[in-house]
Structure 1
Amino acid sequence: MNDKVLLAALAKLHAQAGLPASQFTAAQRSALDRFARQTGAVRSQRQGRGENYRVVDPALFATHLSALSPDVDAGAAKQIPLRARLIARARDSKSGAHQHEHYYLLLKGVGEGVVWRESRRDIELPLSHVTFDFGAATLKVDANDAWATEDDLWLVENQALFDRTDWLPENTKATVAYYGGQLNGILLNWLGSRARAGQVIHFPDYDGTGLANFSRLHAMLGDACRFWLMPDWSEKLDCYGSTQLWRNTLRDFTSARQRLPEYLMPLTRQMLHTGRALEQESVWLCGVGR
């Protein structure tokens, strides 16, 4: 018996004591039927043209519900964080749609005079100045906020590209943001809710994960974002590309390839032909050997 399915069904009955079968999914009805046969705590009864599930042994029902959910009422509370509610409901912070309720974007200003402004609250973040003094800054992003900058926003997948920014094109004035492997859904919604930067430039690993992330970003922003191809990327892919990384992310590559803009076809064709993927830190590798 699937504990998550059964818990969802029992939680509905806990709140109502009796409900029509139509209030449950097919999987939940199946789980309830097995639970009723095995415990006798719940009974299915005909009611008109349909069926009705009722709790017939509240004490036994409560014992089984407690085994699955230590505090189902706290799990339904709205005033505590989502992941705490999931622990209360199912002893596991990852038992449901477990994304955190907020996302914190780590930012670094490159060049002088990079500023982020929140027009609704008339406040600003002087990012270049903050970066010089403290190394980085953080924004708690929400699709309803009005944070934006006139300069470009670069999204990088790996921390080395955030720590050192000498790989950027000469005279770049921009924000670099580190997102750590996967583009978070809250971040994507934030970027798509309004114009946040002059342009959003994505520089991930050239592998299935990186391309899949860009396909999600491009679906949200269209031509307001672009994928950055490092200088001499083709030679570097031949020289430093990894077959293991290619194999590990092939499923994402296959899924994302058809959703990418035309200008990335040379990259994806070469990856497909060579069976290699390239990590973004290769941007520092000069004088590619033959």
Structure 2
Amino acid sequence: MQTPLDAFAGLLADLAADGVVPASRLSAKARERLAPLFSADVLVERRAGAGRRIEVRNADTLARFIERHYPAGLFSNAAAEEGLDRRTLALSRYRDTKALGGLDFEIVEYRLTGKVPLLIGGTAVGWSGVSGDLGAFVLYGARPVNREVRFSGVVATVENPTVLIRHDWANAGVDLAIATYGRMSRRLIDWLASESMRDARVVHYGDYDPVGLGEFCRLEAALGDRADLFIPAEIGRLFSQYSDRELLSRSAGLLPALQRSPHNRVQGLLRLMAEFGGALEHEALLIYRGEHDQGT
């Protein structure tokens, strides 16, 4: 038995095959999508005994409507769709690459700064000193052996590209710094929490604001004590000099949930935000490093 691509495809298949369906089959959304066909009298609604039904008045126009919305047909075709990624599959089925949601993979940029190799599909990538040891790998939602990514050192999740490039990760004891560019995907967190990363310790480097703390809490919830939050020794002075009221106010709605966190470092940073009335962008780490490089 063939399987329709979705409920609307199933409805269209029955209309095309039988010429009639009970009116109760039409949801409000289906009626909205079929409105042009009702307006053109391609479909009509009539009484049928104690109920109502939808009848097809023009099968050719209905067929063209189906072809326009489902170019590959109304039913799934495992052989034809094998190997297609989510967006290509959506284009094939619906003429719309976004119809099935986002990508089923993401590109993860990294800096490899330690001696521990990164294993990508069984191939070891080691430190070379070339191009700042910048690289990238593809992280898939489903990861068979040939797509698995493994690491067993200290991993930094880094919110900002400037910090990714400019921070001295080797001196910080970090073996692999990966860019998150803001909010981490569920896919990335699931990978960090997966069996292939069980020997890695993950340290979060994000803004010292409610969003950054929220990202750390997501990591901790998934990784437990394998997750940590980096806080420089002079965090109080950095808050005093560089914290920003607007940065805090933009995400103040997250504060109530963070205040329930049992993590001491989160609570310590919340106290600093309250004391100085602002939050701190993590590029301040580069100021902190620069001052120490100059011996101040």
Q: Which residue is equivalent to 1:71? A: 71
Q: Which residue is equivalent to 2:97? A: 93
**TM-aligned CA deviation for residue 50 of structure 1:** 8.1
**TM-aligned CA deviation for residue 193 of structure 1:** 2.2
- Cα RMSD for the two superposed structures: 3.9
Q: Distance in 1 between matches of 2:222 and 2:100?
A: 25
Change in CA separation of 1:32 and 1:132 when aligned onto 2, cut-off 3 Å: closer
1:136-215 alignment runs, 5 A limit: 136-142=134-140, 144=143, 145=145, 146-166=148-168, 168=169, 170=171, 172-196=173-197, 197-215=199-217
> Sequence identity of aligned pairs in percent?
20
Q: Distance in 1 between matches of 2:193 and 2:50?
A: 47
CA contact (8 A) 1:246 1:276 kept: yes
**Which of 105, 126, 132 is the aligned partner of 1:102?**
105
Q: Is 1:81 the counterpart of 2:85 in the alignment?
A: yes
Give the aligned residue type for 2:29.
Answer: Q
Q: Distance in 2 between matches of 1:245 and 1:66?
A: 50
User: How many residues are paired up?
Assistant: 273
Change in CA separation of 1:203 and 1:64 when aligned onto 2, cut-off 3 Å: same
CA contact (8 A) 1:242 1:276 kept: yes
Task: For structure 2, list consecutive stretches of 5 or more residues without a partner in the other structure.
Answer: 1-5
Q: Which residue is equivalent to 2:3? A: none
Q: Distance in 1 between matches of 2:156 and 2:74?
A: 41
Structure with max Cα Rg: 2
CA contact (8 A) 1:84 1:93 kept: yes
Give the aligned residue type for 1:12.
Answer: G
**TM-aligned CA deviation for residue 276 of structure 1:** 1.7
**TM-aligned CA deviation for residue 257 of structure 1:** 4.9
CA contact (8 A) 1:11 1:72 kept: no
Q: Is 1:270 the counterpart of 2:269 in the alignment?
A: no
Change in CA separation of 1:87 and 1:198 when aligned onto 2, cut-off 3 Å: closer
**TM-aligned CA deviation for residue 132 of structure 1:** 3.2
Give the aligned residue type for 2:184.
Answer: L
TM-score by length of 2: 0.72
Q: Which residue is equivalent to 1:135? A: 133
Cα distance per residue 1:126-166 (max 9 Å; x no partner): 3312x536732222234534532221111101111221232
CA contact (8 A) 2:211 2:254 kept: yes
**TM-aligned CA deviation for residue 208 of structure 1:** 3.2
Q: Distance in 2 between matches of 1:161 and 1:85?
A: 37
Q: Which residue is equivalent to 2:13? A: 15
CA contact (8 A) 2:8 2:30 kept: no
Give the aligned residue type for 1:61.
Answer: L
Cα distance per residue 1:5-47 (max 9 Å; x no partner): xxx76433233336667776x5435636866754443456788
Match of 1:128, SS state, is coil
Q: Distance in 2 between matches of 1:39 and 1:47?
A: 21
Cα distance per residue 1:54-113 (max 9 Å; x no partner): 64433343555567x37364996634432244456666533442x2112222222213x2
CA contact (8 A) 2:203 2:228 kept: yes
- Identify the range of structure 1 (86-95 vs 212-221) with the bigger mean alpha-carbon deviation: 86-95
Give the aligned residue type for 1:31.
Answer: E
Task: For structure 1, list consecutive stretches of 5 or more residues without a partner in the other structure.
Answer: 1-7
